[in-house]
Structure 1
Amino acid sequence: MRALSKFQLLKWCNPLARLASWFELTRNASSGVAARIPLRGDCQRGHVYLVGAGSGDAELLTLKAARLLQQADAVVYDRLVGDDVLAMIPAGCERYYVGKAKGHHSVPQDEIGALMVRLVRQGKSIVRLKGGDPGIFGRMGEELDALAAAQIPVTIVPGITAASSAAACMGIPLTDRGHAQQLRFVTAQLCREDGTPDWAALARRDETLVFYMGLSKVAAICAGLREAGLPDDWPIMLVANASQPDQQSLVGSLVDMPQRLAAEPLPSPCVIMVGSVVQRVATSPASTENQVHYACQH
């Protein structure tokens, strides 16, 4: 009989293993035994893990992020990491706060990189805990460069970004084939010399725009998009502290949102969504206060 190749063995064994796991889960469920979710790996010393903490709700962490928080020797964390997430860090783990707020950086960016390098060279395993997803407006590139220069191995663990969390809590899709054929994330903290985005490129009716870090620039965003051709009644929504108990939102149009925000100020962090998909908020069953609380907190 001809011997089976490694590929052929895997082709047969993997489905059998999945079937056995399914039978085990079914047996546990029918007997009232809680199913055990397998978690693999250890938090390796001399290694940095760039971990997304999500939008604040600890239950929205990935399983990998939760495991690494339990195993790390030190956690270097940002301002927007939720208290419930921080509560998951064991008492014996070292903590280093390096948060940034508008106009105030507790630790300059180059010092954050130097801190992680120093901790790694002490033989520790490091979780660099960043709000949302570390790769979305999280300065991950600068930290990767600092660690690469020191030849330190890095693992990236993605998290739920604020746009996804806010849309889910408000009961709307970021993309919907009847409203948006594309999705664009934009930072309102403009770094270009002229300080002006390309409003004409952003003022499209077939996409959803999500502005990060733009609470102080709502009036400029509304004016820029209107001047570039979007109608005055084009929908816009602001969501602050998405997925957290103190979540707040405002829904309006480009012409009236600056006045709405002045009358009902929102706290930071806040994401700004612009697009016809925002119209779905009024008809979504998750857009009432009780439904939003249930969807995001339980």
Structure 2
Amino acid sequence: MKNKGVVLITGASSGLGEATANFLAGKGYRVYGTSRNPSRISGAGAVRFLRMDVREEASVQEAVAELLRQEGRIDILINNAGVGITGPLEETPHEACLDAMETNFHGPLRVIRSVVPAMRKQGEGFIVNITSIAGYMGLPYRGVYSAGKSALGIATEAYRMELRSFGILMCTLAPGDYSTNIAAGRFHSPLRENSPYRETYGNSLDLMNDHVDSGNDPMEVARKIHGILQKKNPKVHYAVGSPMQRFSLSLKRLLPDKIFERLLLKHYKL
């Protein structure tokens, strides 16, 4: 693509999005990141920021229109914005479930709808939807998060076939656990008084946080995304993470459901 292309990355103010935005900018791409509060970002360097809340249609449309006004095209969209949510499904407030799905599933769909007309006019484009290894399996106390990321993966499978004739490529990248601030921003469902899940949820939450704290460098994800963008015929799904996390995807495909379930129960000490 000319001049490496114009890139739009949602949720680029921290974590995986920030690492990817800076990495691609260093490779010569013209990178625009989004944040709900871009005025709070300092030292963005070569990355330009637009205000966008993926939960709000008007916000998405305004940010994309501004980018097109400045650049005249959008070559690459990386749907990275997301939120964490944990808690027993029985006790997680339904409003919290809806809010997480707005960000993790409906939000990416809004952004895709807003950029596809420009990409179709160009006759080319590349969309990478960031899902999660957690989206390939129902993890205890992460059911809403797993469901949202799984839904985005399935929607991608359908979307890429619909966009194929327009020259628009699409795939997913499912990261495992990386050392970011995602744990600090998670919604943790408040347990009811005398909740029967108190001990097991607490133990599982400690394990989740340990995985993030000991996770790999987010630049690993940035390099993976850069590699994917070089593909002329990308696969439907990619994954990046520790060897054990990536191996879990193979186990999920190969093992009978109940055996895989027992492995998860043992891992989470349930």
TM-score, length of structure 2 as denominator length: 0.38
Flag the structure with more relative contact order, 1 or 2, with Cα contacts below 8 A and sequence separation at least 6: 2
Higher helix share: 2
Please tell me whether Structure 1 or Structure 2 has the larger radius of gyration of its CA atoms: 1
